[in-house]
Amino acid sequence: MNIQEKLIFFQQLIQCNHNLPLHSFSPDFVFVHSDILEDVSANDDKTLIILSLEEPIRKHVENQKREPLFIDDHLGMIWIVAFEYHEDSLCGIHALGPAYSGRNSYQMIKKELDKHNLSINIRTKVFRLFEHIPIIPTNQLFQYAVMLHYCVTGRRITTNDIQFTEKASQNPSSSEINLITEEHRGVWMAEQEFMNMLREGNPNYLDALARSYSLSDGPRFDTGDSLRRAKSTSIVLLTLCSRAAIEGGVSPSVAYTLNDYYMQMIEDSKNIAETSTTCSTLLEDYVQRVQQEKEKNDISGQIKSACDYIAIHIKEKLSITQLARQVGYTEYYFSHKFKNETGYSVSDYIKREKIRQAKLLLSGTQMSIQEISDELSFGSRSYFSSSFQKETGLSPSEYREQNIKL
């Protein structure tokens, strides 16, 4: 099969689950093919996609990177881009998208579009396009990126090889700081201290967060709904935690998967107390993961990739066969290499990570012990309870009683 035939087959596979269009460009960023645009020569139609893609793609190519690019654009839409090369010459660019990962709202997009002087014709097309954009979990999008790259290049990679668009620095310049009120100056400094602690995995992060809260009542907007405001504030905190964790060494694929998971927990909260508890849980989770990454300095890239895969798929029933295939090793070699580098057998490491997640669910949610056992694919409540007690010295019920946050 040539590249075009592979892309057609790949697109047919994706269409079984999601209506995710594929767009192809020449190296000069001229449209060659699009699944959704009837007339790819129309300027308005080209603007819809080029508006989001051209700048990050050109920067990626200029930096001589060939790995797939994961673009989270200013409208909150996600694109996956693969690059077709013949020896050292770029032959084509293939972009899959757009999609949402569940983190964005229609109103946010409308507000963002209002900043641009777009014609009525373009705005109408944009909103019509938005109505059909699928919501796809981030970890699924990462797998699509790996598959698209393989179709275009024939090379196998892991999700750790995916490149991400760089975010603009969040630190204001000295001239901007001078425009901030004294109150905002104190809040900003406290938030920077908090973010630095998250990046370092510092367990004293709560002190810095408390100082930030003591200086501000939070975002100053009024939706007329105190629960909605609490959720919105929590989402802001979650976004900051995800970025800080990535800067602290956590794999972007793990951080984004956690982001999606806790985003759903925040949205499902029935009251402000539940929202607050979810924030405490996610903070603890992110800090623990940064701490774990700091301890993995001597671990090879392939084993670290396996650990990331376990973290992303912790709810599933995992096997040595599955993990060995994921990193391209035989089961025997993978098992020995994993034990030598982590100090744990594969099965013990998986069980340890599931117990760590169970602790967070026991202390930070109202899920029953049976529900937690099912959530983490332990197979039975009795096996979950015995495994938990062996790891912690406490039964799940005893641990919850001593650590409950609700």
The 3-state secondary structure of 93-130, one letter per residue: EEEEEEEECCCCCHHHHHHHHCCCCCCHHHHHHHHHHH
Candidates 164, 118, 105; CA nearest to 138 is: 164
Cα gap 9→17, rounded to integer Å = 14
Cα-based torsion angle of the residue sequence 70, 9, 101, 84 in order, rounded to the nearest 10 degrees: 10
CB 56 within 8 A of CB 165: yes
29: in domain:
yes
The domain that contains 134 carries what CATH number? 3.30.450
Burial of 297 (0-12, 13-18, 19+ CB in 10 A): exposed
Residue 342 lies in a domain: no
**Do 20 and 131 belong together in one domain?**
yes
Inside any domain, residue 361: no
Residues 6+ away with beta carbon under 8 Å from 141: 70, 78, 80, 99, 101
Same domain, 151 and 179: no
Range of the domain at 40: 3-164
Q: How confident is the model at residue 320, as a pLDDT? A: 94
Residues 61 and 194 in one domain: no
For residues 75 and 10, state if they share a domain.
yes
Query: Does 105 share its domain with 135?
Result: yes
Helices 106-113/120-130 angle, 10° precision: 160
Number of H helices, E strands in the chain: 18, 6
Note the pLDDT of residue 87: 86
- Cis, peptide link before residue 134, omega less than 30° from 0: no
Are the CB atoms for 341 and 349 separated by under 8 Å? no
Number of domains in the chain: 2
52 and 24 housed in the same domain: yes
Cα distance between residue 152 and residue 170, in whole Å: 35
Same domain, yes or no: 52 and 109: yes
Diameter of the chain measured on Cα atoms = 67
Cα-Cα-Cα-Cα dihedral sign, residues 263, 265, 268, 271: negative
Residue 16 placed within a domain: yes
Q: In the prediction, which pLDDT does 88 show?
A: 87
Paired sense of beta strands 31-34 and 69-72, if any: unpaired
DSSP state of 160: G
| Structure confidence at residue 192 (pLDDT) | 73
Q: Which of 137, 164, 191 is the C-terminal boundary of a domain?
A: 164
- Return the pLDDT at 39: 42
* Residue where a domain stops, chosen among 164, 188, 214: 164
The three-state secondary structure class of 308 is helix
Same domain, 144 and 156: yes
> Residue 313: what are its φ and ψ, rounded to 5°?
-110, 30
210 and 88, same domain (yes or no): no
Instruction: Tell whether 183 and 263 lie within a shared domain.
Output: yes
- Please check whether residue 396 lies inside any domain of the structure: no
The CA distance from 282 to 288, in Å, is 10
What are 196's two structure tokens?
A: 């630095």
Residue 22 lies in a domain: yes
CA torsion sign, 126 to 130 to 131 to 133? positive
Handedness of CA 350, 149, 9, 71 (dihedral sign): positive
pLDDT at 333: 95
pLDDT attached to residue 183: 44
Query: Does any domain span residue 216?
Result: yes
Domain stop point among 136, 164, 192: 164
Stretches in the chain below the pLDDT threshold 70: 35-52, 73-76, 101-131, 166-191, 207-225, 405-406
Give the CA distances from residue 238 to residues 76, 80, 283, 309, in Å, rounded to whole numbers and listed in that order.
15, 23, 8, 21
Pair 267, 147 in one domain: no
Burial of 344 (0-12, 13-18, 19+ CB in 10 A): middle
Going by C-beta distance under 8 Å and a sequence separation of 6 or more, which residues neighbour residue 118?
Answer: 126
Task: Report yes or no on 313 lying in a domain.
Answer: no
Q: Give residue 204's region: left, alpha or beta (phi > 0; psi -120 to 50).
A: alpha
Helix 346-364 with 381-392: angle, nearest 10 deg: 100
194 with 134, same domain: the answer is no
